[in-house]
Each structure stands twice: as structure tokens, then as C-alpha cells.
């Protein structure tokens, strides 16, 4: 119940932010900017978003191969999309998408829980690392060329960046020294969490080729996002350089760190400032975020359909197992 309240509260905050941005920028200006889009342009953005999902699934497959687990790509796509939908629509459910993905691996692909859970944690760490690199260099350019953001935005988004950067740095420090992090949070020798941590630490060894493949695919996915940003701004009628596009992508990542469903409001707030500072119309910022959100929402809706289907299948299988057990117990 507490998580549902937090989810609704975070969504409400996002709605308030979105309405405030709309009033400041002007709904008419947003509507006029949105008309700059034609059907084929939206399809291009959607195709790039699909490529991002495919690269993310490919990365997950390579991570599992690095753990000596071989799962076909087609068997990973469905749980990946379902996990993405959970993270995108309900980010307040921390690790909800990852737990679901590892559970599906265990139930449908017979992957042991420690290896499955380790794979999704590794996936998230690799993605956060790539995101933080983009945010760092994008923000560096922005600060030197444009200046610092307003204190309220700087406090919120700068604080989110520092929290994530500190967490990732702490993890790499501990993994290189093979010092347990899990033992800080659990009592006694609980086997599964410690086995999962061991799998993660073994993966993050510099000599592990799968680690470098994972980094490469994380930055490839970021490359598709970068291309999506540049093309989207171009479709809106503005041609920007490579470094300004990197800054906009970095702000995109920053907005996703705030646990608000679909980054509603938070993304508009940071991009309105960024677009205005880069000499672009603030109304374009709102259209920019809405188009990206729409493309990712399409992927999320596909994930929700898959999530529902997988849930029905799992419930049915559990029910049949209970019926079979009941028949076996009372068979004469």
C-alpha cells in the first residue's frame, strides 16, 4: 500500500510540473511546434527506440553468456520489454523490473536465481555507468559554454547525479577489492544474496571479455539515443552541433533518475531550461519530451501486453501444478 501511495504521489508531482511548464511556455506554442512533425518523422523516432530495446536485449544476452548461461535472443526479448515497462511506468518500484526479469529467467529458462538476478543487476550497473559518462561530459560542455542552471534545478538534478555517481563509484571500489557490499545489509550467511554478489564481482573483472562487450553495447545503446536526440531536434527545424546534442541527451538521462512515472514534468522542466539556454524555443522542449515519451510508451505498452500474457501463463501453470498435486494425493 505504501508503494502505491508513493507511485501516485510521484505521478501527481509529475502532472503538476507538466501543467506548470505548459502554462509558462504556452499550450498554443507547444501545439504549433508539434505540428512540425509528420508521420514518417515519428516513425523514424520509433524505429530508433526499437533499436535501443533490441541492443538492450543483446547486451543482456552477452551478460548471461559471460556467466556461462546461453539463452536465445527471442527468449530474452519478452522479459526485457516487460521489465522496461515496469521501470518506465512505475520507477518508484525500485528493482521491480529487474526482479521480474530474473524471475522469468528462472521459471521459463531454468536459469538459477543467483545468475539471473546477477545478470539484471550487471545490466543496470553497465547502463548507469554509460549514462553517467554522458551526463558528465554533456554537463561539462553546458557549464563551460552556457553556465550553471538555476539553483532549484541544479539542486534536484545535481543531487540525483551525485547520488548515482557515488553509488556506482562505491560499487567499483568494492568489486575491485572483492569486498562484500551485501553483508552491510543482511544478517547471517544468506546464501542466495551472497551467491548473486559473487557472480556480479566475477563479471566485473578487467580480464573478463564479456565485461567489455557489455560496456560496448551500453555505449552503442547510448549512441542510438544520441542519434534520436539529434534527429528529433533536426525534425523540429533546428540544426545543433554534436556537443549541444550531447548536453540534451545528458539532461534526458538526468530526468530519468528522478523516480516519476515516464519522467512526466521532470523531463520537461530540465529540457525547457536546456533548450532555452541553447537558443531553441522552449515550446520545442515540451514537444521534444512528448515525442520521446510517446515512442517509449509504445515500447512500454508492448511490454505491458507481454507482462500480462506471461502473468496469465504463469498463473495457469501454477494452477495446473496444484491440480495435478491434488489428483496425485487423492488418486485411488
Higher pLDDT residue, 77 or 36?
77
pLDDT 10s digits, 71-103? 999 999 988 998 888 887 776 666 778 888 888
Kindly compute the dihedral angle of the four CA atoms of residues 184, 185, 190, 195, in this order, to the nearest 10 degrees: -70
92 backbone dihedrals φ, ψ, rounded to 5°? -70, -20
Higher pLDDT residue, 118 or 30?
118
Where do the H-state alpha helices sit in 146-263? 151-177, 191-203, 209-235, 242-256
Residue 330 has pLDDT above 80, yes or no: no
Cβ partners under 8 Å of residue 126, min gap 6: 59, 63, 214, 215, 217, 218
Cβ pair 113, 128 in contact under 8 A: no
Express as a percent the part of the chain with pLDDT over 90: 28
pLDDT confidence tier of residue 123, bands split at 50, 70 and 90: very high
Lowest mean pLDDT among 11-25, 52-66, 81-95, 258-272: 11-25
pLDDT 10s digits, 264-313? 666 777 888 788 888 887 778 878 888 888 888 788 888 888 877 776 66
Cβ pair 156, 258 in contact under 8 A: yes
How many Cα atoms are found within 13 Å in the side-chain-facing hemisphere of 206?
4
Residue 191 has pLDDT above 70, yes or no: yes
* Residue 288, helix vs strand vs coil: helix
pTM assigned to the model: 0.81
- Provide the pLDDT for residue 11: 43
- Provide the pLDDT for residue 38: 57
- Provide the pLDDT for residue 70: 93
- Provide the pLDDT for residue 322: 43
Residue 65 has pLDDT above 80, yes or no: yes
In sign, the C-alpha dihedral spanning 132, 227, 53, 214 is negative
- Provide the pLDDT for residue 332: 42
Lowest mean pLDDT among 21-25, 48-52, 201-205, 206-210: 21-25
pLDDT confidence tier of residue 153, bands split at 50, 70 and 90: low
Higher pLDDT residue, 49 or 33?
49
How many Cα atoms are found within 13 Å in the side-chain-facing hemisphere of 52?
23
Higher pLDDT residue, 306 or 189?
306
Q: What is the mean pLDDT of residues 104-113?
A: 87
pLDDT 10s digits, 211-267? 999 999 999 999 999 999 999 888 887 888 888 889 889 888 888 877 666 566 667
- Provide the pLDDT for residue 35: 55
Q: What is the mean pLDDT of residues 173-177?
A: 88
Q: Where are the domains of the chain?
A: 40-235+288-319
Closest CA to 134 of 227, 54, 233, 248: 248
Residue whose entry in the numeric block shows the C-alpha cell 553556465? 147
CB-based burial label for 294 (10 Å; 0-12, 13-18, 19+): middle
Residue whose entry in the numeric block shows the C-alpha cell 552491510? 184
- Provide the pLDDT for residue 57: 96
- Provide the pLDDT for residue 261: 63
Which long-range contacts (C-beta less than 8 Å, at least 24 apart) are formed by 21-27? 21/265, 21/268, 21/269, 21/272, 21/286, 22/286, 24/272, 24/282, 25/272, 25/282, 25/283, 25/285, 25/286, 26/283
Number of residues written out for the chain: 332
- Provide the pLDDT for residue 17: 47
Amino acid at each position: 500500500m505504501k508503494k502505491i501511495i508513493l507511485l501516485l504521489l510521484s505521478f501527481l508531482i509529475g502532472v503538476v510540473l507538466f501543467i506548470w511548464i505548459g502554462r509558462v511556455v504556452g499550450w498554443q506554442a507547444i501545439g504549433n511546434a508539434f505540428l512540425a512533425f509528420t508521420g514518417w518523422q515519428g516513425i523514424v523516432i520509433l524505429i530508433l527506440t526499437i533499436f535501443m530495446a533490441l541492443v538492450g536485449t543483446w547486451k543482456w544476452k552477452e551478460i548471461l553468456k559471460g556467466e556461462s548461461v546461453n539463452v536465445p535472443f527471442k527468449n530474452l526479448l519478452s522479459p526485457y520489454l516487460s521489465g522496461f515497462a515496469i521501470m518506465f511506468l512505475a520507477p518508484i518500484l525500485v528493482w521491480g523490473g529487474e526482479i521480474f526479469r530474473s524471475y522469468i529467467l528462472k521459471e521459463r529458462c531454468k536459469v538459477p536465481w543467483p545468475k539471473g538476478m546477477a545478470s539484471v543487476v550487471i545490466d543496470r550497473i553497465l547502463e548507469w555507468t554509460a549514462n553517467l559518462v554522458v551526463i558528465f561530459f554533456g554537463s561539462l560542455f553546458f557549464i563551460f559554454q552556457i553556465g550553471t542552471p538555476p539553483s532549484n534545478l541544479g539542486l534536484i538534478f545535481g543531487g540525483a547525479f551525485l547520488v548515482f555517481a557515488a553509488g556506482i563509484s562505491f560499487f567499483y571500489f568494492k568489486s575491485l577489492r572483492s569486498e562484500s557490499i551485501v553483508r552491510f545489509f543482511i544478517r547471517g550467511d544468506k546464501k542466495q544474496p551472497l551467491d548473486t554478489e559473487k557472480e556480479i564481482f566475477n563479471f566485473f573483472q578487467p580480464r573478463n571479455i564479456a565485461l567489455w562487450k557489455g560496456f560496448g553495447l551500453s555505449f552503442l545503446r547510448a549512441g542510438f539515443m544520441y542519434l534520436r536526440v539529434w534527429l528529433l531536434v533536426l525534425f523540429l527545424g533546428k540544426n545543433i552541433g554534436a556537443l549541444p546534442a550531447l548536453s540534451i541527451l545528458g539532461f534526458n538521462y538526468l530526468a530519468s533518475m528522478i523516480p516519476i512515472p515516464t519522467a512526466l514534468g521532470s523531463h520537461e522542466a530540465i529540457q525547457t531550461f536546456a533548450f532555452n539556454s541553447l537558443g531553441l524555443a522552449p515550446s520545442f522542449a515540451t514537444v521534444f519530451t512528448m515525442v520521446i515519451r510517446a515512442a517509449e510508451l509504445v515500447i512500454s505498452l508492448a511490454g505491458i501486453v507481454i507482462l500480462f500474457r506471461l502473468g496469465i501463463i504463469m498463473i495457469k501453470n501454477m494452477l495446473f501444478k496444484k491440480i495435478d498435486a491434488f489428483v496425485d494425493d487423492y488418486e485411488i
